[in-house]
Structure 1
Amino acid sequence: MKELLNKWYKNHALVYKMLLFLVTTLFIVYLFPKTGKFRYSFEKGKPWQSENLYAPFNFAIQKTQEEINEEQLEIENNAPVYFEIDREIPETIKLNYITKFNEVFNDSTTSKRTLFRQGTDMVETLYENGILDTDYPYSNDKQVVLVASNNTVEKRIEYRGLIEINQLRNRLESFLKQSTSAENKNKMISLFFDIVKPNVTLNETLTKKTLEEELSQISHTRGSIDKDQLIISKGQVVEDEEYNILKSLKSEYESQVWNTANYNWVLVAYTLLVALALLMLLLFLQKYRLEVFQNNTKVTFIFFNIALMVLLTTLVINYNSQYIYVVPLCILPLVLKAFFDARLGLFSHVLTVLLLGFIVPNSYEYMFLQIIGGIVTILTVSELYKRANLFISVGQITLIYIIAYFAFFVIHEGQITTLKWDTFGLFILCGLATLFVQPLIYIYEKIFGLVSDVSLLELSDTNTKLLKKLSNKAPGTFHHSLNVANLAESAANEIGANAMLVRVGALYHDIGKMKNPTYFTENQSNGINPHDELSNRESAGVIVDHVLNGIEIAKKYNLPDRVIDFIRTHHGTSVVYYFYMKEKAENEDVQIEDFSYPGPKPFSKETAILMMCDSVEAASKSLKEPTTTKINDFVENIINKQMESGQFLNANITFKEIQSIKKVLKHKLANIYHLRIEYPE
């Protein structure tokens, strides 16, 4: 048992990666839609590329959304409107009419009796169908159903049969005969305006309920295809009818086959494919990015971002697949490039797009757009810490999206008259969402403890608290660090290394000297050398300790590990040569390890560059009457000694790159000492 625990402890990093791999795979498979995947791909207006297709089972042909919309519109136009009529109001109006008429016309002439009969007829006519309580926006030929208060149907008429309030005066004037005097006509109109009340109101609940019932009866299918019936032949163009049949088959297949006998097998197949994609990522990291692979935090960060993009895309598809292009998938390569490099960012992006191809509609079109977008992201975004660069790159990415989508639309439709301009707006929204990468990088730095070029830019500011402290306590060391930073940045640019990282590393590489600043010659301004009072071993110990002190100070000020690496490695395992030779002259029995730095040796191009530049800059102060020849020999000797002692064996730097760095250092030192070209005599 103890041996098993020891073995597990030794391989805990690998066990963690296996668990991370398994959890991420299962999570992504869980997000996948619970449907099968139709094996054939087809496009309207394109030839059928596969063999003759026969129906594998009986299925119904689904109507297109346009057909369903047309049927819905027709039902809505023809559906009757239900109005509730009150039959008690007309009886009340008749009684009120008699009373009111006698009050207005109190004589007993023949014309009064005639006028009374006309008024009685008008009441009957007005309330034959009813008077509306307000005007409604229906056409005159709209079918209307009049119902009682208990929803029993009384009659069916057209909307023109009902009287609207604004029509009342015209109706009254047309009822009164021409022989009626103007005075009596006005009295009658005023009388009716006093007694008339609406008795017909819209029954919205019944109207809506009836309409919904009729809409629910719409059939979503038309006709059917029998098993083994030929659907389409090889080479046949997929026209509208064939396209609808193929879409119906695809929908039926994905809804039935998955949910019956093949559920478990399809689930296993999805798991295998997702696991295969993630395994390729792990193998890539192990082969080409070993440093990342060995860091579980970084591997977790990469897997987390891939799973996050799959999650966001799935949520959008479940809500409305039309908004699929709003998801800012290009954030993934941007983030990975900011923390790692472009190659890893693009590789992860392509794998993520391949995974999303299982769940998005029009997968080929989507994958093409996103892969092209990822490539453009990697090619255009440089120096992410410069805000203008990000805006320009996002604009270019959005433009590429729009151009590619336009090309696909023309290929599918063969015209641009039906172009969906709303989709262009989705691409613009996607571009705006991509700008969120800046605050996202800051959040990731705090959560995962990573460092990006944005943070490096902040650390390169010489007004930071730590660098100010260095300039006050050890001004000579601070000046030396500035010179080394300038040399290292130029060398990094020459060989294509991370110039920002090596500059920051150079600024902080000697912060350990703040603890005992006067023990280093660049800070000795009064001519007193404290080493005169120490033994050679003690002096060497003080010199070596500045590396360990620097690491301690860096951790206290929360400097990133990538910067601390420069403090650890800038002397490698080299020897404090001056005190070693001095001790050897006094005592031949001396151990070189007592005068050596603890290491480790530089393990990247950037840390190797710093070692060269630090040694050359520090030793250059001892040059007397420098000439071009002296400087060339001086640089060659120092760097060659470092190569001979194996200081660069762990760094992925080539002889050619080292020669380029030598050339830069010679040129820079010549400029520092204001040397001119030595002309032959």
Structure 2
Amino acid sequence: MLVGAEQGASAFLIGGEFLNFIQANLTRLRALLGNRLFQILLFVVLGIFAYLMMYSNVKPEKVKIELLKPAEQTIRSTKTVEDTYKTEQEKEEITQQVADVYTLKKEYAQNKVDLIASIFDSALEVKKETSPEDPESAGKDENENNSSKTATPAEKTVMLKQKLTDEVNKEIPESVFLALVEADEDDLKISKDLTITAVNNVMSQRITAADVENAKKRAEEELKYTSLDNELKNASISLARNAIIQNVFFDKDKTEVQRTQAVETIEPIKILQGQIIVEEGQLIDREVYRQLELAGFLNNDKTVFPYLGLFLFLTLITGALYYYFYLSNNTEDRKVTQMLVFSLVLMLSLSVMKIFSLFSDLKYVDLGYYFPAAMAAMLIKNLLHERFAAAITIILGAFGTIIFNGDVSGNLDFSIGLYIMFSGLAAIIILSKKNFKTKILQAGLLLSVINVVLLFSILFIMDGNYSKMEYLFYMIAAIVSGVASSVLTIGLLPFFEAGFGILSSIKLLELSNPNHPLLRKILTEAPGTYHHSVMVANLADSACEAIEANGLLARVGSYYHDIGKTKRPQFFIENQMNIENPHDRLPSATSRDIIIAHVKDGAEMLLKCKMPQEIIDIAEQHHGTTLLKFFYHKALKQGEDVKEEEYRYYGPKAQTKEIAVIGIADSVEAAVRSMVHPTPEKIVELVEKIISDRMNDHQFDECDITMKELSVVKQSLCETLNGIFHSRIEYPEFPKLEQKVRP
């Protein structure tokens, strides 16, 4: 047993030395990071580390491809690219399928009808001019009439031709003109109507170049069986055949428009990301080889775009992080601590991610879903702030899409990225609830349930074909991820707390344990102070929660804020039970020094016990630079020549909202406890007076508490005090037993 004890002591010393070594190096690092250049260098190192972690995940996959040989593996396209060759082929085919557009010239029919009508009208005019009954010849001399009457058919034909154009005369045979001028006038009119009707009927239809002769025959058929004499009938047929021409012509412009419209309907043919180009064992012919070349598998060593994209992506993220920390309103020391913690947690999470990705070739499920997705969010939420936790969750979700891309054809797996991001955000929301702030394991169990629902929702949306065994493994992965996140958080928190001196909710919970040596010291040596501290803790906790400050810190800080009174407990009124007040026999200056000393003594005791700086600050600042009014006025009454500054606490003033609230609660509790008959009205008046006095004394000038928050604090304090100092029922029928009992 002695040997075991010695080994345990030796191990403890080694662990302590290792912790001191870590703390010493972190102290040096934090000192360096006080320089802005080293802060920038920190994020450069973070970016380089992330780049190295993800370099292999964006590196194009090398595949062995040989023309006219079977493929050694199934190859899927890693990106979506347009197959311009296939697209152009499709456009050419659709262009060839578009028929030529022919336009009907409707005016041609009317033109020919008008021409036929003009010829017949001209023939009728010749008939009238050469007819003896011509009214126009009545006024002429006899010689002229005789010459007209004696006009020969040839002369009439000449007269008719003179009324027509040379072009018409060339196209129409001489026999036609002769038949027209020799025909009877009534027959000529009938022939005109029949010929125009036949021409109009035929020309109203579409007549291509190949159909012209058939169209002429249709017109001839319409005129062939008329009652006209043969010569006039043949003349009409000849005129009709001459009038029938092609009226449908190729329209180049409209044809081009239709072909253009048809081409525009063709969607570009693409090789989609994830599409199988060639299956294992399939012959790589020239078409497959062309597609592989188009998809970038033949020249993937030459591309630099994935590396450039990753560089730009990480530059954007690290630059945004630096800018966010740079704009922070925290003190330089606090800012450096936040940078270091954030960077270390991010690098740790990236390392774990990479390790999981290296062993992600399981048969049933992606190992990436076992990754403790919420670990970083839980750590940062407890160590820093939920804003930083949300930031690291989003960043890790983005990184996860790249690192866990082994089972997808491209470089990004968005499903696992969404899972990591929403799992981390769910953890932040769970830990924001008061009941889970210090119950990380329970929070992890609840997170496991959420992970299962989240993962199954993603699987159902993707509509994959999964077996029951695969669903089972996915469920196990979600549960393991949630529990592992909480377990790792619990295991890593003490190292970060000790290394960086960060006060987390877990640490606060440990410090609130009544069995803590310092709390037992207060309880045994100054029980009145202990009771007073518990009362102040209740008041401050409620008030801080009301203004969304750290209620747990206020409660625990209140437990220790008056620990300095244990050095001289009998000089403080709450510990003076059945004894004479020693201040009645002491000079005011001495009493002043004793009272003021409890602040300094408390800070020294807490520092000696290596308590967190936040607790030390509460003990040192809760009185600020307020005035010891009782002893100051006592000195004035005794005629002493004193200055007000001599009877003030040394400060500093409250630097945080929590310390300001504790200072108010401390004064309020002591004042209300000294009241004989506290009523709600008196309590409200007292709280308002204390807050007003502190404001007028500028005790809140160095913290960021607002007037609205002070109003909420006042309301919370009054509600809590009314619950503590509520009215008692009097029993007048037992006057002898009636007495005042302080609750």
Q: TM-score, normalised by structure 2?
A: 0.59
Q: Which residue of 1 aligns with 2:372?
A: 328
- Gapped regions of structure 2 (runs ≥ 5): 1-29, 88-266, 280-287, 406-411, 730-743
Aligned pair 1:395/2:448, yes or no? yes
Which deviates more, 394-403 or 613-622? 394-403
- Change beyond 3 A, Cα 1:320–1:387: closer
1:301 aligns with 2:341: yes
CA contact under 8 A between 2:397 and 2:419: conserved in structure 1? no
Distance (whole Å) between structure 2 residues aligned to residue 320 and residue 673 of structure 1: 63
Query: Which secondary structure does the structure 2 equivalent of 1:366 belong to?
Result: helix
Partners of 1:34 and 1:292 in 2: CA distance: 37
Q: 1:227 to 1:523 in 2, by over 3 A?
A: closer
Q: 1:404 aligns with which of 446, 449, 457?
A: 457
Specify the alignment match of 1:467 in structure 2: 519
Equivalent position to 1:617, from 655, 659, 669: 669
Partner of 1:219: 72
CA contact (8 A) 2:379 2:493 kept: yes
1:629 Cα offset (Å): 2.2
Q: Which residue of 1 aligns with 2:630?
A: 578
AA paired with 2:51? V
1:359-438 correspondence runs (5 A): 359-361=403-405, 362-381=412-431, 382=433, 383-386=436-439, 389-410=442-463, 413=464, 415=465, 420-421=470-471, 422-436=473-487, 437-438=489-490
Residue type of the partner of 1:406? L
**TM-score, structure 1 length as denominator?**
0.64
Partners of 2:398 and 2:417 within 8 A in 1: yes
Could you say if the C-alpha distance between residues 610 and 250 of structure 1 is closer, same or farther in structure 2, counting changes exceeding 3 Å?
A: farther
1:279 matched to 2:319? The reply is yes
Equivalent runs, 1:141-160 vs 2, <5 Å: none
Deviation at 1:290, TM superposition (A): 2.0
Which of 497-506 and 378-387 deviates more? 378-387
> Are the aligned partners of 1:635 and 1:662 in contact in 2 as well (CA < 8 Å)?
yes
- The residue that corresponds to 1:343 in the other structure is 387
Larger Rg: 2
Match for residue 596 of structure 1?
Answer: 648
In 1, are the aligned partners of 2:423 and 2:447 still within 8 Å (CA)?
A: no
Partner Cα separation in structure 1 for residue 636 and residue 646 of structure 2: 12
Partner of 2:253: none
What is the aligned-residue RMSD (CA, Å)?
A: 3.9
Query: Map of 1:487-526 to 2, 5 A cutoff?
Result: 487-526=539-578
CA-to-partner distance for each residue in 1:230-255, whole Å, 9 max, x for gaps?
47864758484459888986673895
Superposed CA deviations along residues 574-593 of structure 1, whole A, max 9, x for unmatched, are 12222223334456853333
Alignment CA distance shift 1:234-1:498 (3 Å): farther
Q: Does 1:23 align with 2:45?
A: yes
Identity of matched residues, %: 28
* In structure 1, distance between residues paired with 2:76 and 2:688: 87
Q: 1-side partners of 2:546 and 2:318: how far apart?
A: 36
8 A Cα contact 2:624 2:649, kept in partner: yes
Q: How far off its partner does 1:571 sit?
A: 0.8
Q: What is residue 618 of structure 2 aligned with on the other side?
A: 566
CA drift at 1:461 = 1.8
Once the two structures are TM-superposed, the CA of residue 32 in structure 1 deviates from its matched residue by 2.3
CA distance in 1, matches of 2:728, 2:327: 48
For residues 10 and 241 of structure 1, the distance between their equivalents in structure 2, rounded to whole angstroms, comes to 53
Which SS does the other structure have where 1:252 is aligned? coil
Show CA shifts across 1:265-313 (max 9, x none).
9767644532431332343344456258734233211110011111111
Change (3 A) 1:219 1:357: closer
Q: Deviations over 1:12-39 (max 9, x none)?
A: 353442332232222222222247578x
Within 5 A, what are the aligned runs for 1:86-485?
219-220=72-73, 230=85, 234=268, 238=272, 240-241=275-276, 252=297, 255-257=300-302, 262=304, 270-287=310-327, 290-291=330-331, 294-320=334-360, 322-361=366-405, 362-381=412-431, 382=433, 383-386=436-439, 389-410=442-463, 413=464, 415=465, 420-421=470-471, 422-436=473-487, 437-485=489-537
Tell whether the 8 Å contact from 1:26 to 1:271 is kept in structure 2 after alignment.
no
Name the CA distance, whole Å, in 2 between partners of 1:312 and 1:304.
Answer: 12
What is aligned with 2:693? 641
Helix, strand or coil: the match of 2:55? coil
Between the aligned partners of 1:242 and 1:471, the Cα distance in structure 2 is 78
Displacement of 1:499: 2.0
Structure 1 spans left out of the alignment, 5+ residues? 1-7, 39-57, 72-217
Q: CA deviation at 1:470?
A: 0.8
Q: Is the 8 A contact 2:83 2:271 kept in 1?
A: no
CA distance in 2, matches of 1:293, 1:356: 31
Q: How many residues matched?
A: 492
